[in-house]
Amino acid sequence: MSSKQAASKEAGEALAIERESVRHLVEQILASEEFRRAPRQSQILRLLTDRWLAGQEAAVSEQELAQALYGRQEYNPTEESVVRAEVGNLRKRLDRYFAGEGKHHPVRVIVPRGHYRLEVVSRRWSSPLTAPPRPRLRVVMATTLLATAALVVGWMAGRAGAGGGRQSNPVLRAVFRPDGDTCVVLADSVWALLQDLLNWSGTLEDYERFRSGSLVLPVDRTPLSKELAVIATRTYTSFADAKAAALLLEAHPEARSVRLRMARELNLRDLRDDAVILLGSARSTPWVELFRDQLTFWVEYDVQTRLPRVVNRRPQAGESPVYLPTDSHGNRVTAYGVVALLHNLSGSGRVLWIAGTSSQATEAGVELVTDSERMSSMLSRLGAGEQELPDFELLYRADISRNLPRQAEILAWRGHSGQAPLIVQSKAGGAQQ
């Protein structure tokens, strides 16, 4: 291979490495055994990574590191070596990580000797990959709305020919009731996008102000203030959520009075009077926050690590307090999610919440819920009868291969007695702390 071809291939690899994959790699490193007990070196690695992700390739000075690590305003590198020692230990830990636990990663991160900056190096090509440019706003197309309409129209067209003999499971019968309305709520992708661009987490109260136009977004965190103002006026959902809604409706052809609603169109009256299906975490469907106190398992976005995760608020033996998605070998991702069946705000109907650490993980949760055999088996373990199901929640794991979810595995579940979660059974294994 000629040097020109090699350079071209190397540039191609550089372009293939996205910001999120590098961020995800570093989070895996920080969560490893090698770094879990090294807070100073973890702090240095996180600082250098943030600089790299922001497109700032200039090295950090020893004085900056001293201030970040020890809060010292005055530091003389000619007389003190504590920072150099910490960075040296960081290099050794990175070498050990990539020689052991991280040996299968296609790329590695290093701190070159003589410099306090991060470099991302391909295992195949030894030269460092350039830091990504500052993020530019991508145009959000309205194709997701068209996809939603197409899927729903397709479902409605198919319902006329659906046979009456097809049976759905008790969970779907609880939310698609024959004597009332059911709202299927699609995630607000614009609200999630705004939070991602601003590296900020909004609350349900913020969302209410956002819907009314009275929320002042913290746009000083980004140079894209004008673009954000335009985006905020749009209403989009994801193709995965639209597909998930179609799967739910297809799985229960007996459904009669169903309303498809965007999260931005929902109101408290719907959550009080109707049966509701909420798709997505509180980051894109903030209404879920109204039920948070009832839940043991919670899908959230960590602003510090910029990663989604499932938090187990009351872990039992063999369970992890935190479940982080992991990337095994590039094309396969292990993701997590939660399914919960609760009562609505008035107790007159049911609320079904399905959310994963990614849109594909949410889709895996929908496929789990629509699997009559697996749902009926799990409900029998809860001692649930066919007439009135108890409130329950379950944690699942799903392998995502080439952006397609495989069958979800139930890791743990809780049945609720009144408002209090009651441990029924948990299945150890697969927990990522």
| Of 129, 156, 181, the domain-final residue | 129
Q: What is the mean pLDDT of residues 349-366?
A: 92
Domain count, the chain: 2
Angle at 189 between CA 185 and CA 192, to 5 degrees: 115
Tell whether 292 is covered by a domain.
yes
| 275 & 416 share domain | yes
pLDDT by residue (tens digit) across 37-62?
888 899 999 888 888 887 776 678 88
| 319 & 214 share domain | yes
The per-residue pLDDT for 139 is 33
| 49 & 166 share domain | no
Tell whether 99 is covered by a domain.
yes
Least Cα distance to 141 among 228, 239, 224, 229 occurs for: 239
The number of helix segments (H) and strand segments (E) in the chain equals 15, 16
pLDDT by residue (tens digit) across 368-402?
999 888 888 888 877 666 567 889 999 999 988 76
Residue recorded with tokens 């839940």: 295
**81 close to 16: Cβ distance less than 8 angstroms:** no
Tell whether 391 is covered by a domain.
yes
The per-residue pLDDT for 369 is 93
Which of the four pLDDT bands, split at 50, 70 and 90, describes residue 219? Answer: low
Tell whether 223 is covered by a domain.
yes
Alpha helix ranges (H) inside 302-405: 359-369, 372-381
pLDDT by residue (tens digit) across 172-202?
989 988 777 899 999 999 999 888 888 888 9
Least Cα distance to 343 among 383, 390, 289, 297 occurs for: 390
Structural domain boundaries enclosing 388: 143-426
Tell whether 431 is covered by a domain.
no
pLDDT of 130 above 60? no
pLDDT of 429 above 70? no
| 151 & 109 share domain | no
The per-residue pLDDT for 239 is 80
| 64 & 178 share domain | no
| Of 77, 95, 129, the domain-final residue | 129
| 64 & 172 share domain | no
Q: What is the mean pLDDT of residues 294-302?
A: 94
Please tell me which residue, 56 or 278, carries the higher pLDDT value: 278
Tell whether 135 is covered by a domain.
no
CATH number of the structural domain spanning residue 62: 1.10.10
**271 close to 351: Cβ distance less than 8 angstroms:** yes
Tell whether 241 is covered by a domain.
yes
Which of the four pLDDT bands, split at 50, 70 and 90, describes residue 106? Answer: low
Please tell me which residue, 226 or 273, carries the higher pLDDT value: 273
CA 250 to chain centre: 26
Other beta carbons less than 10 A from residue 246's beta carbon: 22
Least Cα distance to 119 among 28, 58, 63 occurs for: 58
| 12 & 75 share domain | yes
| 330 & 379 share domain | yes
The per-residue pLDDT for 431 is 38
| Of 106, 129, 152, the domain-final residue | 129
The per-residue pLDDT for 133 is 47
